[in-house]
Amino acid sequence: MPIHEKSLIRPENLKTHDKLVLDGIDVSGHWSTFIETRVVSDYNEALEEEISALPGGEYIHRCWQCGSCTNSCTVHAINPDFNPRFWIYLIRMGMESELLRDKDIIWQCVSCNKCTYACPRDVVPEGVMKATAHWLERKGHTPKSPSTHFDEVFTEQVIATGKIEESRTIRRFFKRTNQGLMQSWMVEMVKRMLRHLPIGLLSRMGLATFIAPRTSNWSSAASAIQEYIDEQHDKQDKALSLSELIDVAQKDAAA
Amino acid sequence: MTAKKEKYKKVAYYPGCALEGTGHAYNRSTKEVGKALGLDLVEVKNWNCCGAMEVKNVDPKIQTYLSSRVMSVAANEMDMDVVMAPCNGCYHNLKKAEYDLKNDSESAKVVDRLSKKAGHKTYETGQVETIHALDWIRETIGEDGLKERVKNSLSGIKIANYYGCMYTRPRHIFPEKDAGPGSESTSKPHFMDDLLAAAGAENVDFPLKTACCGGAHTLSDSDTSTKLVLNILKTAKLAGADVIATECPTCHSGLEMHQIRAEKNFGEKVEIKILYFTQLLGMALGLKARKVGVHENISDSIGFLKERGLG
């Protein structure tokens, strides 16, 4: 497969005039195609540093733009706009507004790690995708993605009980993202499960569990984990200048 | 080889959360196959979640800690030196934790701090070796041993072997792979192919062995997952397979769920059976289909197996 290059000329910036005469010469039609000047003036010099401060983004500075990540990418194969190499370029250049054009798809990385496998510089592009998606959310550019909601529901349950009980995670995720559980394909799936299964076994498989599995003597591990997560969150807020922003806002409100 | 043969005969068994839920049939068939082969599985005491991809996304070091606790229990409370995890996610995460603890001092510091606060011994790298169910059967019984034990050959069944992402990627957490003759390949894995071939099955040439099923977004971005699964199902079918053999509960339930979703939401029906490799091996060893949980699968293969004299 070739390395997919991203064109920096956007279709909306191409201007063609049906009738145009310049210095007495007729240049109508495609002869008169011009590219509208595009000025990038809002470089965010801290962008790379901010993304490096989030888990997964640590090695973005190693990238030498070979494009192996995009070339091997599972999501790129079904959506050509999904382009890790290009986003890493934009982040390292500080081109924030350009990056924001793709803000709604970056979270769709499926973490298959084909990019990490292919990368000759150990950038861990999969981690960079996660860090970038989190950065967009933490900075308020996008709402929390369904994927982040799922991660949070899952992690909350692990901290609370030490284990996951899948049906509960699924129910909580649907509730948090305001989706109905009775989607036609879900109903069909359970219908097919019931074909050969007695209901008692279904409950053993976790579909109707009343007693959730849990790791015993878990409470001290749970509080240690929560304490660490909170601590990291504060550190990241500082790196993203978010705590500074809150400080200023609080002082402003007090005055 | 022989050292491993003895070492893997009795292992600490880490089923993980999925095998107590949607992957129950995998749990059941793994245990039954172990019993039939005379291998000893001792479940890790009071185990916890490995952290999966979800906790890693929230904070990778917490995932490292969670996985390290499982290994610490196996080593320090059970005196075991091998942990066997049939789930690709668990297997991957324990391997990743081992790598991180060995190579990143910050991770080791965090794990030590959390272990002390949680009140258990800190896991030290090298205390246990984490293996997959494929390694376990391959090293202890092997292809020749399996051939001797086959009661119902799988002959006539065409299989596409599907390994998914986490069994081989990223390469650096699996130092024993790509290590010359006899080792597993990260680009073209073959351990499952070898075992099923020994049981008499015909493996088809399947190019998507390590493609992604979109398991990470199975519910959060279902359309992407359905497209990826559809690609896997159609390719297996085109390659001539009757069955896709799986070795991961997330892949397995992803294929089953999105096979139905593709039919319901995209109007695309692909007729192909999905079975855990342990279910196939179990039936080859003479176990009944029910015993290895075939009736628990959503993908209905009971009729298909009966026609071929299995189950």
Residue B279 lies inside a defined structural domain of this protein: yes
Instruction: Please report the pLDDT score of residue B257 as a whole number.
Output: 94
CB contact under 8 A, A78 and B224: yes
Distance between CA B178 and CA B188 in Å, rounded?
10
Pair of tokens at residue A30: 């495609």
* Residue A198, C-beta contacts closer than 8 angstroms, at least 6 positions apart: none
Contact by Cβ (8 Å): A185, B261: yes
Name the percent of chain B lying above pLDDT 70: 99
Contacts of B113 in chain A (CB under 8 A): 224, 228
| Closest partner CB to A116 (pick from B169, B228, B260) | B169
Domain boundary among B132, B165, B189: B132
Residue with tokens 């995209």: B266
Interface test with A, best of B27, B57, B92 (most A CBs within 10 A): B57
Q: For chain B, how many helices (H) and strands (E)?
A: 13, 8
DSSP string, B196-258: HHHTT-EE---TTTT----GGGTTTSHHHHHHHHHHHHHHHHHTT-SEEEES-HHHHHHHHHH
Contacts of A73 in chain B (CB under 8 A): none
CB contact under 8 A, B165 and A111: yes
DSSP string, B121-176: PPP-TTS-EEEEHHHHHHHHTHHHHHHHH-SS--TT-EEEEE--STTT-SGGG-TT
Contact by Cβ (8 Å): B252, B6: no
Angle B306-B307-B310 from CA coordinates, rounded to 5°? 40
Taking only residues 205 to 264 of chain B, the set having a beta carbon closer than 8 angstroms to any beta carbon of chain A reads: 211-212, 214-217, 219-221, 224-225, 227-228, 256-257, 260-261, 263-264
* B189 and B267 share one domain: yes
Pick the residue from chain A with its C-alpha nearest to B117: A224
Query: Is B35 an 8 Å CB contact of chain A?
Result: no
Contacts of B24 in chain A (CB under 8 A): 204-206
Instruction: Please report the pLDDT score of residue B252 as a whole number.
Output: 96
Distance between CA A110 and CA A131 in Å, rounded?
14
Interface test with A, best of B46, B63, B221 (most A CBs within 10 A): B221
Q: CA of A235 to nearest chain B CA: how many angstroms apart?
A: 13
Instruction: Please report the pLDDT score of residue A167 as a whole number.
Output: 82
Pair of tokens at residue B118: 């949680």
Taking only residues 176 to 195 of chain B, the set having a beta carbon closer than 8 angstroms to any beta carbon of chain A reads: 186
- pLDDT tens profile A216-248: 999 999 999 999 999 999 999 999 988 888 888
The backbone region for B126, taken as left when phi is positive above 0, alpha when psi lies in -120 to 50, beta otherwise, is left
* B127 and B158 share one domain: no
Taking only residues 158 to 217 of chain A, the set having a beta carbon closer than 8 angstroms to any beta carbon of chain B reads: 158, 162-167, 170, 173-174, 177, 184-185, 188-189, 192-193, 195-197, 201, 204-206, 213, 215-217
Contacts of B14 in chain A (CB under 8 A): none
C-alpha R_g of chain B: 19
Residue B170 lies inside a defined structural domain of this protein: yes
Amino acid at B88: N
Number of domains in chain B: 2
Residue B112 lies inside a defined structural domain of this protein: yes
Instruction: Please report the pLDDT score of residue A208 as a whole number.
Output: 44
CATH number at residue B71: 1.20.1050.140
Query: Is B90 an 8 Å CB contact of chain A?
Result: no
CATH number at residue B302: 3.40.50.11810
Q: CA of A39 to nearest chain B CA: how many angstroms apart?
A: 35
Q: Please state the ipTM of this predicted complex.
A: 0.94
Distance between CA B157 and CA B197 in Å, rounded?
10
- For A113, A163, B13, B31, B121, the CA distances from B91, given in Å and listed in that order, are 15, 16, 11, 17, 21
Using alpha carbons, select from B163, B141, B166, B165 the residue that is nearest to residue B281. Answer: B141
Instruction: Please report the pLDDT score of residue A187 as a whole number.
Output: 82
| Closest partner CB to B48 (pick from A146, A162, A192) | A162
Dihedral pair phi/psi, residue B203, rounded to 5°: -85, 135
End-to-end Cα distance, chain A: 61
The backbone region for A213, taken as left when phi is positive above 0, alpha when psi lies in -120 to 50, beta otherwise, is beta
Instruction: Please report the pLDDT score of residue B170 as a whole number.
Output: 95
Task: Could you list the beta-strand ranges (E) of chain A.
Answer: 14-17, 21-22, 25-26, 29-35
* Residue A193, C-beta contacts closer than 8 angstroms, at least 6 positions apart: A202, A207, B296, B298
Distance between CA A196 and CA B293 in Å, rounded?
10
Report the DSSP pairing between strands B82-85 and B129-132: parallel
B134-160 burial, b for 16+ CB within 10 Å, e for fewer? bbbbbbbbbeeebeebbebebeebebb
* B160 and B296 share one domain: yes
Q: CA of A43 to nearest chain B CA: how many angstroms apart?
A: 28
Distance between CA B130 and CA A10 in Å, rounded?
50
Residue B137 lies inside a defined structural domain of this protein: no
- pLDDT tens profile A143-184: 999 999 999 999 999 999 999 988 888 888 988 998 887 788
Residue B141 lies inside a defined structural domain of this protein: no
* B168 and B303 share one domain: yes
Report the DSSP pairing between strands A14-17 and B273-276: unpaired
* B157 and B303 share one domain: yes
User: Domain limits at B77?
Assistant: 2-132
Q: CA of B57 to nearest chain A CA: how many angstroms apart?
A: 7
CB contact under 8 A, B260 and A189: yes
- For B35, B295, B297, the CA distances from B198, given in Å and listed in that order, are 19, 25, 24
Instruction: Please report the pLDDT score of residue B42 as a whole number.
Output: 98
Distance between CA B105 and CA B115 in Å, rounded?
15
Pick the residue from chain A with its C-alpha nearest to B258: A185
Any idea of the CA torsion for B254, B256, B165, B3, to the nearest 10 degrees? 120
CB contact under 8 A, B118 and A78: no
Query: Is A40 an 8 Å CB contact of chain B?
Result: no
Taking only residues 62 to 121 of chain A, the set having a beta carbon closer than 8 angstroms to any beta carbon of chain B reads: 74-75, 78, 108, 110-114, 116-117
Using alpha carbons, select from B196, B195, B194, B175 the residue that is nearest to residue B186. Answer: B175
| Binned average pLDDT, 10 residues per bin, chain A of 255 residues | 63 85 85 80 91 97 96 95 96 94 97 97 97 97 96 96 88 88 80 72 54 87 96 92 83 85
Pick the residue from chain B with its C-alpha nearest to A226: B62
Pair of tokens at residue B41: 């599985």
Instruction: Please report the pLDDT score of residue A201 as a whole number.
Output: 60
Sequential pLDDT tens for chain B (311 residues): 568 999 999 999 999 999 988 899 999 999 999 999 999 999 999 999 999 999 999 999 999 999 999 999 999 999 999 999 999 999 999 999 999 999 999 999 999 999 999 999 999 999 999 999 999 999 999 999 999 999 999 999 999 999 999 999 999 999 999 999 999 999 999 999 999 999 999 999 999 999 999 999 999 999 999 999 999 999 999 999 999 999 999 999 999 999 999 999 999 999 999 999 999 999 999 999 999 999 999 999 999 999 998 87
CB contact under 8 A, B296 and A158: no
* B113 and B258 share one domain: no
Using alpha carbons, select from B283, B281, B275, B278 the residue that is nearest to residue B301. Answer: B275
Amino acid at B194: D
Contact by Cβ (8 Å): B86, B278: yes
CB contact under 8 A, A228 and B110: yes
Instruction: Please report the pLDDT score of residue A210 as a whole number.
Output: 56
CB contact under 8 A, B302 and A196: yes
Distance between CA B81 and CA B104 in Å, rounded?
23
Interface test with B, best of A1, A122, A151 (most B CBs within 10 A): A151
Q: CA of A217 to nearest chain B CA: how many angstroms apart?
A: 9
